[in-house]
Chains A and B, each alone.
Chain A
Amino acid sequence: MGNPEKIVADEMIRTFSALPAWLEATPALISRGRFLDCDCRLGPIEQPFFVSIRGGRIVEFTAAPVLMRSWRFSYRATPSAWTEYWKPMPTPGWHDLLALTKRGEAVLEGDLHPFMAHLQYFKDLLALPRCHQSKVAA
């Protein structure tokens, strides 16, 4: 029997690692982010990823820690928040990135301009596991 927390953490890392490929398979979302160039930090509170986005595409996706890496903004959430957010029909209050910050399950930091100027892009990017995970489960 493995450690349940580690199993959840590993699954979360696997899901986040699939984001660049899922984004590539979603041209409408790339198009939405066509003016977005940004280095940011996304993922679980303890193990976020450094994400480089150019023209709406993820060109680099690296797990922390990375020494002295800069980022403009950071959106990190608890494992339970990501688990709920990615459900095909999330529970009320766990269904939106800003619902998660309001309930204290996520932290938004840094220069928020790229995040706010491309808010729907980031909501949709981070919700990609909703449909892909359910396909995998099926």
Chain B
Amino acid sequence: MNGQIEPMIGRYVHVDIGGEMHRIYFEESGAGIPLVCLHTAGSDGRQWRHLLADAEFTKNFRIIAFDMPWHGKSNPPASWNGDEYQLTTARYTQTIRAFCKAVRLDRPVVMGCSIGGRIVLNLAIDHAAEFRALIGLEAADFQQSWYDTTWLNRPDVHGGEVCAALVSGLIAPQSPRVSRDETLWAYKQGGPGVFKGDLYFYRVDGDLRGKIERIDTGVCPLYLLTGEYDFSCTPEDTRRTAASIPGARVTVMEELGHFPMSENPEQFRRYIAPVLAGILEAQVLPKRVASA
């Protein structure tokens, strides 16, 4: 509709990450339980725009999507001198916790996809008490590599084109063309070496095998949802991961790939709605019991 304004509002917050101030862009919509959404490697918070605009979810959730430093509208920090960007497990964890603290969120739910799904597992391992629930999309403790990341950033190959072409195969063939193109557009727009630098965490530094057994879902519920067409983090990778975490709830999403929230928002909604309803119910029930 001509003139329609979407409900999300975008702002910048200054966040102290490791002693340096970062200007972080975030969008938010709704009120209630804080729900922080983490984008995939090499992309940005726009992947969550359909969730942010969902009138049903935003009745009960304050949905927030922020761009990681180097991504989207969050610039690299002032101290960056052009050195190779490499995301580490420690840095990623520190960034999420610092953002939640800066925005003064009270025990948010965190939902992350791909590298965001992996780091959610690390939050569950080391910081579970800080969160009401954790949701990992396309998440596993480890997965087998399927290409050499040096192709992602070299002067004789267009970075945007090769990043988008590589991940295009991770989108389910049923996903609408317009959503597929929009998902890939973010990859075509990423900064040089940023996708590759994110994958340093995914491939090298963030191997969580042998650590996930420490996750206690009694402290913080953990939901894992993976698309059947994701051949990077396969449903088998997620199931294998969940097998080591008592209480982890696994859903395999049909007709979805590695980018469920952006490649086919309508199909993703069918799977995430019951998860959010369950989290909401768990928050409401104890209050009812207490007031009875």
Residues of A within 8 A of B (CB): 89-90, 92-93, 95-99, 101-103, 112-113, 116-117, 119-120, 123
* CB neighbors of A among B156-173 (8 A): 156-158, 161-162, 164-166, 168-170, 172-173
Please, which residues of chain B bring their CB within 8 A of the CB of A112? 151
Measured in the bound complex, the distance between the Cα atoms of B151 and A119 in whole Å is: 11
Nearest-CB distance from A110 to chain B (Å)? 14
Closest CB of chain A to B147's CB: distance in Å?
Answer: 6
Task: List, in ascending order, chain A residues with CB within 8 A of B173's CB.
Answer: 89-90, 95
B156 touches A98 (CB 8 A): no
Q: How far is the CA of A89 from the CA of B228 in the complex (A)?
A: 13
Determine if B151 and A116 form an interchain contact, defined as CB atoms under 8 angstroms apart: yes
Number of inter-chain CB pairs below 8 Å: 55
For window 91-129 of B, CB contacts with A under 8 Å fall at: none
A97-B169, A99-B169 known; A92+B231 contact, CB < 8 A: yes
- Name A's interface SS: helix
User: Is the interface on chain B under 10, 10 to 19, 20 to 34, or 35 or more residues?
Assistant: 20 to 34
In this assembly, does B234 line the interface, its C-beta being within 8 Å of a C-beta of chain A?
yes
A119 and B156 contacting across the interface, CB-CB below 8 Å: no
Min distance, Cβ A108 to any Cβ of chain B, angstroms: 10
Which residues on A sit within 8 Å (CB–CB) of B172?
92, 95
Question: Which residue numbers of B lie inside 8 Å of A, CB to CB?
Answer: 144, 146-147, 151, 156-158, 161-162, 164-166, 168-170, 172-174, 228-229, 231, 234
How far is B161's CA from A120's CA once the two chains are assembled, in angstroms?
A: 8
Kindly list chain A residues whose C-beta atoms are within 8 Å of the C-beta of B231.
92-93, 95-96, 98-99, 102-103
The interface residues of chain B lying within 8 Å CB-to-CB of A116 are: 151, 157, 162
A89: chain B residues at CB < 8 Å are 173-174
For B146, what are the chain A residues with a Cβ–Cβ distance below 8 Å? 98-99, 101-102
Q: How far is the CB of B123 from chain A (nearest CB, A)?
A: 28
The contact sample of 23 A-B pairs, CB cut-off 8 A, is A89-B173, A89-B174, A92-B228, A92-B229, A93-B229, A93-B231, A95-B231, A96-B168, A96-B231, A98-B147, A98-B231, A99-B146, A99-B231, A102-B146, A116-B151, A116-B157, A116-B162, A117-B161, A119-B161, A119-B165, A120-B161, A120-B165, A120-B168
